Amino acid sequence: MSELLKILNYVFAIVLFSMGALPLLQGYGIISSNPLSFVSGTLKTLILLMSALYLSIDGFGEEHLIKSLSLFTALIIALIVFVPIINQAGWISFTLPGFVYAIESYLFVLGGIFLIIGAFIHH
């Protein structure tokens, strides 16, 4: 893995992990406010889509179980982001159930962890 790709891997891992971990820490009362609360919805959507895309690209370079889990996590993150957008555009008539938004932070943390593992696996 080239150095640039490894750096991108770490950047996306940190971003995805922090976008999941900071709301969780605030929800559990460990921190009083989320430092990423200033990020607009559009920017957050763009960051999450780029992270999901990079996680899926990185997943194809991994092997066995990590590959499957990375690709599945990337797909779920992309669906969490895409379904509300295409629902608002009127292209689909359904939306995601409420429990999905309760676990989205955990999925973002998981995606960040898979990106970190992928960076360590590739030499």
pLDDT score of 33 = 82
- Report the range of poorest mean pLDDT among 33-47, 57-71, 79-93: 33-47
pLDDT attached to residue 1: 53
Q: Mean pLDDT over all residues of the chain?
A: 85
Amino acid at 79: L
C-alpha dihedral (18, 23, 26, 27), degrees to nearest 10: -140
Give per-residue pLDDT as tens, 108-117: 899 889 888 8
Tokens 């092997």 belong to which residue? 63
pTM over 0.75: yes
